């Protein structure tokens, strides 16, 4: 782990490219102890076919409101790191028929959550391509819960208000990326093995609603040493011939290291962790000679890009992102996915919530400061710098995952299986353990929903832990749709602020029908839930499913079965708390849509799925969720035209690096260009920003792009309706940088008044780095 300690402070995969280039692509063997041959994954031990894939889903990097905080002022304006869809497919090897048996697909999105509309469209495309091989039954699509990705891709009204309705560009980028990542994984299917490992990570999450957690029974709390889950569960994928290919892990922590004021697209702490782990293990493969580098055309491409920038063609250089220069002798790059779990009441802001006005801890029960929620803010480990906090929490997850990856020895064995069902949660009959029959309710949010959380507080006079509400806001909420007496009674003790489940115009405001799903690979069982379960809610669900599998499996499942929750999967319906936490009515309870018995309903239905899986029985699919894609309202104005001031052109430098300047490691280099709206071309699997190194023979070598932590792409307009815009590229020179000559380049696309799009390139002065 000493190697990882050094790497995480200044590592960038692209810095390593230069070393390879200058020394003829020959390096000494690493001391990290990583070797594809370390894990026994011979053909004899391979029980499955495995395939991994990864594709860009970044989407529009301007103007679109970010999904998560519901802050109408938090519109995308650049890129911190890119967003990706990462996929694994595991299939049974059917030797007798020389074919393939059952298979499961899991997609991890650097997005706030999954979306029913996205899931519907992806399944439609897979069906058109592969027939019945992939369906909603065996495909799971899960979000990491970053709050710094473009919104507007969900189909229910409540979740697209701040994004000014549906944003088709966001939706298409996610759907396209998921489809391409699944295609990659499908095409990469080869014999291999899976290993599972678990371990505790103690310094990456805290409970942001401890007063609600304390309302759970004391004897139940006594079973657990912490008020959040500290365990990370990791799957290691090993090709029978090529060795380790990737890892997927599940750990519960909110994607809120980046605050509600951030405007750069980011995968937040889990996105950082994935970037660090992928680059680290890719580096190992390069050092061992298992990768090849294609440096062809790196000189001619740059000049041809400029030549073509005026004729409307896309500059060829943007197709050669830094990581794409590497061609794996194994057919695919290392894929690392950091997946979400029972995240509901967790926070990455591990210093706790502090009052901005006094510097003391917030009120314990209500998370207020002098009665105001807005002043109570959680602090990350790098406070007040969001980027530092994001990196620290990401590094901590990466290091634990690398440790589990390198020490994984438990081989997954046994069948692949899955069960899936749709449930109408608006009026589900639930049988409680005491024999009583109760029902869930149509969706509704309570007053504390509007108070927000310590990760992102709300406004006005709302506060968490409010079981009463007030008359003024009750009138305001009732103006939208006054809740019926039956709804008020059903939701108690939640005071209903917005009766979302009974609001159907212009189309439904919240879901009623939701998917639940179980995926099984040997002794690994994944529970796909379309919500954010709190810590204790997740524990109860996991325990209930594990018990059912063991009791109903006829000896097939033992105590070694690993049950993990994949939160925010296949659809989204806000939160699920325990009955006791619901009584407290903090944010999570107020956002538990279907009333106090929501968790009991989930446990009941998941136990049915688990029993069917264990017995080998089928299940009824249940009612289908609505298809609302054709009903969506799209209110975000399009890009009308881009222009530059008279005498300037797109790509011209406004603020350049001084001629003949020099910098050292740790310095920050900033260059500002005349630019155009990034919505004109999303540059998927390419880049808006590039740092190049002058290599031997005068070739400019791409070294860092806008998916590197050290290079930020920041975009702005002088005024809201101005056709002019700027791109500022900020490069913080890493400790690992190769000394030499560098330059910074910006790539963009400008829209003319009559709709044509012109690509352009801008280039800074050359400067030296020592």
Angstrom distances, CA of residue 724 to CA of 368, 650, 657, 680, 751 = 42, 10, 22, 14, 11
The answer to whether the annotation marks 532 as part of a ligand binding site is yes
Cis peptide before 229 (omega within 30 of 0): no
Q: At what angle do helices 268-287 and 2-10 cross, to 10 degrees?
A: 120
- Exposure on the CB side of residue 552, measured as CA atoms within 13 A: 17
Residue 704, marked binder: no
407 catalytically annotated: no
Q: In whole angstroms, give the CA distance from residue 587 to residue 453.
A: 6
Report d(CA 435, CA 89) in Å as an integer. 41
Which neighbouring-strand residues pair with 576? 533
226 is in an annotated binding site: no
Exposure of 577 in the CB half-sphere (CA atoms within 13 A): 28
Q: Are strands 75-79 and 711-716 parallel, antiparallel or unpaired?
A: antiparallel
Q: What is the DSSP letter of 132?
A: G
Q: Enumerate residues 6+ apart whose C-beta is below 8 A from 603.
A: 540, 541, 544
Please state the separation of Cα 47 from the chain's center in Å: 30
The answer to the question of whether 38 is labelled as a binding residue is no
Within 8 A by CB and 6+ apart from 128, the residues are none
**Hey, is 537 helix, strand or coil?**
helix
Joined tokens for residue 508: 């439904």
Q: Which of 175, 104, 185 is nearest to 139 (CA)?
A: 104
Strands 243-250 and 335-339: parallel
> What are φ and ψ of residue 98, in 5° steps?
55, 30
Name 7's bridge partners: none
Would you give the distance in Å from CA 69 to the centre of its chain? 15
User: Edge-to-edge, what's the strand order for the sheet holding 562-566?
Assistant: 416-424, 513-521, 524-528, 562-566
User: Which residue in 332, 347, 591, 686 is the catalytic one?
Assistant: 347
Cα–Cα separations (whole angstroms), residue 478 to 470, 493, 533, 680: 12, 17, 28, 41
CA distances from 225 to 200, 220, 769 (A): 12, 11, 50
Could you give the residue numbers annotated as active site?
347
Residue ranges of the binding site for Zn(2+):
145, 254, 532, 575
Residue ranges of the binding site:
145, 254, 532, 575
């Amino acid at each position: 782990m000493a190697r990882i300690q050094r790497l995480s402070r200044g590592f960038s995969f692209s810095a390593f490219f230069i070393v390879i280039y200058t020394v003829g692509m020959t390096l000494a063997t690493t001391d990290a102890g990583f070797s594809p041959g370390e894990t026994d994954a011979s053909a004899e031990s391979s029980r499955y076919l495995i395939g991994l894939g990864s594709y860009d889903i970044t989407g529009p990097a301007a103007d679109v409101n970010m999904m998560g905080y519901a802050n109408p002022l938090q519109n995308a304006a650049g890129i911190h790191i890119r967003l990706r869809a990462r996929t694994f497919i595991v299939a049974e090897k059917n030797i007798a028929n020389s074919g393939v048996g059952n298979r499961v697909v899991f997609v991890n999105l650097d997005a706030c959550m999954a979306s029913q509309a996205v899931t519907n469209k992806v399944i439609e495309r897979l069906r058109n391509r592969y027939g019945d091989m992939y369906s909603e039954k065996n495909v799971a699509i899960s979000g990491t819960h970053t709050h710094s990705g473009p919104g507007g891709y969900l189909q229910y009204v409540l979740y697209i208000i701040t994004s000014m309705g549906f944003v088709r560009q966001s939706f298409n980028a996610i759907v396209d990326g998921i489809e391409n990542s699944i295609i990659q994984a499908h095409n990469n299917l080869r014999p291999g093995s899976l290993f599972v490992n678990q371990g505790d990570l103690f310094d990456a999450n805290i409970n942001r609603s401890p007063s609600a957690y304390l309302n759970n029974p004391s004897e139940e709390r006594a079973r657990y040493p912490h008020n959040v889950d500290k365990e990370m569960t990791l799957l290691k994928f090993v090709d029978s011939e090529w060795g380790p290919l990737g890892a997927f892990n599940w750990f519960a922590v909110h994607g809120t290291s980046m605050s509600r004021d951030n405007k750069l697209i980011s995968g937040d702490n889990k996105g950082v962790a994935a970037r660090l782990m992928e680059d680290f293990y890719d580096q190992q493969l390069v050092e061992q000679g298992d990768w090849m580098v294609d440096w062809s055309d790196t000189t001619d491409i740059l000049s041809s890009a400029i030549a073509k920038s005026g004729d409307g063609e896309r500059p060829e250089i943007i197709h050669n992102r830094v990581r794409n220069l590497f061609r794996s002798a194994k057919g695919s790059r290392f894929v690392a996915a950091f997946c979400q779990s029972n995240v509901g009441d967790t926070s990455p802001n591990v210093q706790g919530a502090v009052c901005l006005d006094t510097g003391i801890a917030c009120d314990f029960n209500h998370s207020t400061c002098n009665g105001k929620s807005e002043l109570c803010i959680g602090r990350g480990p790098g406070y007040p710098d969001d980027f530092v906090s994001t990196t620290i929490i990401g590094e901590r997850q990466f290091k634990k995952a690398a440790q589990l990856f390198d020490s994984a020895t438990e081989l997954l064995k046994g069948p692949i299986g899955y069960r899936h069902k749709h449930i109408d949660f608006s009026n589900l009959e639930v049988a409680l353990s005491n024999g009583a029959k109760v029902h869930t309710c149509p969706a509704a949010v309570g007053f504390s929903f509007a108070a927000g959380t310590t990760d992102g507080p709300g406004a006005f006079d709302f506060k968490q832990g409010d079981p009463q509400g007030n008359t003024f806001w009750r009138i305001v909420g009732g103006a939208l749709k006054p809740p019926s007496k039956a709804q008020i009674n059903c939701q108690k003790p939640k005071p209903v602020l917005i009766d979302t489940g009974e609001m159907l115009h212009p189309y439904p405001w919240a879901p009623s029908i939701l998917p639940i799903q179980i995926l099984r690979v040997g002794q690994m069982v994944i529970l796909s839930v379309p919500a954010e379960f709190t810590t204790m809610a997740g524990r109860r669900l996991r325990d209930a499913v594990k018990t059912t599998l063991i009791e109903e499996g006829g000896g097939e499942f033992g105590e070694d079965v690993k049950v993990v929750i994949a939160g925010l999967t296949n659809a989204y319906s806000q939160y699920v708390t325990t009955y006791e936490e619901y009584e407290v009515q903090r944010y999570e309870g107020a956002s538990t849509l279907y009333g106090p018995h929501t968790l009991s309903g989930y446990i009941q239905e998941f136990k049915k799925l688990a029993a069917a899986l264990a017995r080998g029985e089928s299940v009824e699919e249940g009612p289908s969720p609505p298809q609302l894609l054709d009903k969506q309202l799209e209110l975000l104005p399009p890009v009308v035209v881009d222009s530059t001031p008279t005498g300037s052109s797109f790509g011209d430098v406004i603020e350049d690096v001084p001629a003949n300047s020099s910098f050292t490691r740790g310095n920050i280099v900033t260059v500002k260009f005349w630019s155009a709206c990034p919505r004109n071309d999303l540059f998927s699997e390419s880049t808006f920003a590039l740092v190049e190194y002058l290599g031997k023979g005068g070739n400019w070598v791409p070294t860092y792009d806008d998916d590197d932590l050290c290079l930020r792409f920041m975009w702005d307009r002088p005024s809201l309706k101005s056709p002019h815009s700027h791109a500022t590229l900020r490069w913080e020179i890493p400790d690992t940088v190769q000394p030499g000559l560098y330059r910074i380049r910006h790539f963009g696309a400008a829209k003319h008044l009559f709709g044509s799009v012109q690509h352009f390139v801008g280039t800074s002065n050359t400067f030296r780095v020592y």
